[in-house]
């Protein structure tokens, strides 16, 4: 019985990084290794064949427009929401889906099998509603998220929300948090979002610079 | 093609970039942006973030092109800057905790449905890997980086890069269309009998 040639050896052979004649002979003598080697070559070829991707038209317009208008590009870019927040609404939607899925799936910790516990479900829904208010102030969730130049208090709140999300998320990766812990985190998330909505409400419309 | 190695930038354009010529900047963008975007999409698996990488890379190019000693090195320079921007984003806690990936959309493939299926398969398979593994595979297999270069880029060793490549391929072999074990087995059987 022949031992299987490790994948790493086949890869180094494929890429010409190890031209050990003994390895070549071993591969040549083993039909399975030849098939695996061919598969490795096919995958590499497929990867190399992948086409370029055209970025959206407005990317160049943003760069070019800024240069043409002699606007300090670096300064203008700083006024954009830092990238986590530009994507926060999308990610939060994903996060909610995951969170609700886990709540639904986990019958433990005093919950009714198959259903999220009432306070938790309420907190999740409240959190979702508040998030809609923050990121979709004019329209429903189907609309593109509004992008504002966040002020420092808003940014601080957003970072704290991200911390809570991170805590919830890392817990989900390692172990399911207790119902009590989940509730505490979701409550905290709701409170932070309420503060964010309040700050946003007080902000004069003129100072909420729409970027797009 | 998404590979930088397949691209060429006219030396006049490169010199124009150095002078700050706006037409040269537009040509350089048209030529190089799809490669930057393609690489960023495959590594980051997020269109919005990939476009940020494109924007940041070209802003840096335009702002710093004047300092380039060798205009012919623009291609390599753009690739290096784009890779760094991808890496920077992979390292953010935000990206690390993303639970899902958005698969590549709007990929312009024009050579028939069979090819499209194959490319979509490999896109999907690549998208299912851990981000750092994707990066290693892309840089090594598509961009031709050595394991030593990748190791240095990631703050690791060449061996780490090698092991990531092998780990990634282990999964790609299972996922990529036509390369599943059962197909392998039948091919092996037929090889044995012939």
ipTM of the complex: 0.80
- In this structure, the answer to whether residues A11 and A103 fall within a common structural domain is no
Chain A interface disruption, residue of B57, B66, B141, most A CBs within 10 A: B141
- In this structure, the answer to whether residues A32 and A100 fall within a common structural domain is no
Residue of B nearest to A165 (CA): B97
Looking at residue B39, its pLDDT comes to 96
**Residue A66, domain member (yes or no):** no
The residue segments making up the domain with residue A87 are 79-207
**Residue A67, domain member (yes or no):** no
- In this structure, the answer to whether residues A95 and A36 fall within a common structural domain is no
A105 pLDDT more than 50: no
Domains contained in chain A, number: 2
Residue A51 near residue B119 (C-beta atoms within 8 A): yes
C-alpha Rg value of chain B to the nearest Å: 19
**Residue A166, domain member (yes or no):** yes
- In this structure, the answer to whether residues A17 and A97 fall within a common structural domain is no
Gap between the Cα atoms of B72 and B12, Å rounded:
9
Half-sphere exposure of A44 (CA within 13 A, CB side): 20
Residue B188 has its nearest CB partner, among A32, A49, A62, at A32
Structural domains of chain B, ranges and CATH numbers in brackets = 1-106 (1.10.1740.10), 109-181 (1.10.10.10)
**Residue A110, domain member (yes or no):** yes
**Residue A212, domain member (yes or no):** no
Predicted TM-score (pTM) of this structure: 0.58
- In this structure, the answer to whether residues A185 and A105 fall within a common structural domain is yes
**Residue A56, domain member (yes or no):** no
- In this structure, the answer to whether residues A99 and A18 fall within a common structural domain is no
> pLDDT tens string for chain B (194 positions)?
668 888 988 889 998 998 888 889 999 999 999 999 999 999 999 899 999 999 999 998 998 888 887 877 899 999 999 999 999 988 876 665 554 443 433 333 344 444 445 667 888 889 889 899 999 999 999 999 999 999 999 899 999 999 999 999 998 888 875 544 444 444 444 444 44
Angle at B160 between CA B158 and CA B161, to 5 degrees: 65
**Residue A43, domain member (yes or no):** yes
Residue B184 has its nearest CB partner, among A35, A59, A83, at A35
Residue B108 has its nearest CB partner, among A39, A43, A51, at A51
- In this structure, the answer to whether residues A145 and A202 fall within a common structural domain is yes
């Amino acid at each position: 019985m022949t031992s299987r040639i490790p994948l790493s050896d086949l890869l180094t052979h494929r890429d010409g990084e190890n031209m050990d004649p003994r390895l070549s002979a071993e591969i040549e003598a083993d039909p399975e290794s030849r098939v695996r080697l061919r598969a490795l070559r096919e995958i590499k070829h497929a990867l190399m064949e992948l086409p370029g991707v055209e970025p959206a038209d407005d990317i160049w317009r943003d760069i070019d427009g800024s240069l043409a208008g002699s606007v300090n590009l670096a300064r203008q870019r700083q006024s954009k929401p830092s990238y986590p927040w530009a994507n926060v609404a999308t990610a939060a939607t994903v996060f909610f889906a995951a969170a609700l899925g886990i709540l639904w799936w986990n019958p433990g910790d005093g919950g009714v099998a198959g259903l999220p516990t009432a306070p938790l479900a309420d907190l999740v829904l409240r959190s979702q509603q508040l998030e809609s208010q923050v990121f979709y102030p004019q329209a429903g969730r189907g609309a593109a998220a509004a992008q504002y130049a966040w002020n420092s208090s808003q940014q601080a709140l957003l970072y704290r929300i991200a911390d809570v999300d991170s805590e919830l998320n890392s817990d989900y990766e390692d172990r399911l948090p207790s119902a009590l812990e989940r509730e505490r985190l979701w409550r905290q998330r709701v409170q932070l979002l309420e503060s964010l909505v309040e700050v946003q409400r007080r902000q004069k419309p003129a100072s909420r610079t729409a970027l797009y | 093609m998404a590979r930088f190695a397949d691209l060429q930038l006219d030396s006049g354009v490169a010199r124009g970039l150095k002078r700050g010529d706006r037409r040269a900047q537009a040509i350089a963008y048209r030529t190089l942006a799809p490669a930057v975007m393609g690489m960023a999409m495959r590594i980051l698996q997020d269109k919005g973030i990939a476009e940020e990488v494109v924007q940041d890379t070209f802003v840096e190019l335009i702002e710093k092109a004047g300092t380039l000693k060798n205009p012919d090195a623009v291609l390599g320079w753009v690739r290096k800057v784009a890779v760094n921007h991808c890496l920077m984003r992979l390292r953010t806690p935000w990206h690390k905790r993303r639970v899902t990936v958005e698969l590549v959309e709007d990929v312009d493939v024009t050579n028939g449905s069979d090819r499209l299926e194959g490319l979509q398969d490999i896109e999907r398979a690549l998208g299912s890997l851990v981000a750092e593994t994707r990066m290693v595979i892309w840089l090594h297999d598509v961009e031709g980086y050595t394991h030593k270069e990748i190791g240095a880029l990631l703050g690791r060793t060449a061996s780490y890069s090698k092991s990531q490549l092998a780990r990634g391929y282990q999964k790609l072999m299972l996922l990529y269309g036509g390369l599943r074990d059962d197909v392998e087995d039948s091919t092996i059987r037929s090889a044995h009998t012939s």
